[in-house]
Amino acid sequence: MIKRRPVYLNLVQIRLPLPGFVSILHRISGAALFLIGIPLALYGLQESLVSAETYARLATALAHPLAKLVLIGLLWSYLHHFCAGIRFLLLDLDVGGELKAARQSSVAVLVVSLVLTAIIGARLW
């Protein structure tokens, strides 16, 4: 008896459960922080410490609405990565590993990261 394996998997049609979605967002947010957040933070720190003129130029650049949107995106990346990291640490300690608890904790990660982003982003704007 030969098993027929699918030749083509349509990834758009596959319905990922919410904990899997949170896991993928955790990886994406970590990559965004590593590839975009750290270089921007180091560049901003370097420019702010050179002189008063470069500090003023950086402050003017960060006051632009597009720069604020980038900062809010990086803020969400940080908060989501932090909250999901705590969730994964608890799962490694066998806390909340049951199906219902895992789904509830993934909802909590999404809600807490979005609410904190909205609160801090409102103060940033």
Averaged pLDDT, 28-38: 97
Kindly report the pTM of this predicted structure: 0.85
Closest to 77 measured CA to CA, from 121, 11, 19: 121
What pLDDT shows up at residue 6?
64
Q: Domain segments of the chain: what residues?
A: 64-125
Tell me which residue of 21, 15, 12 sits closest to 102, measured CA to CA. 21
Q: What is the DSSP string of 41-90?
A: HHHHHHHHHH-HHHHHHHHHHHTSHHHHHHHHHHHHHHHHHHHHHHHHHH
User: Contact at 8 Å (CB) between 33 and 78?
Assistant: yes
pLDDT in tens, 6-20: 667 777 777 889 999
* Tens digit of each residue's pLDDT (9 = 90 or more) over 78-122: 999 999 999 999 999 999 889 999 999 999 999 999 999 999 999
Amino acid, res. 32: A
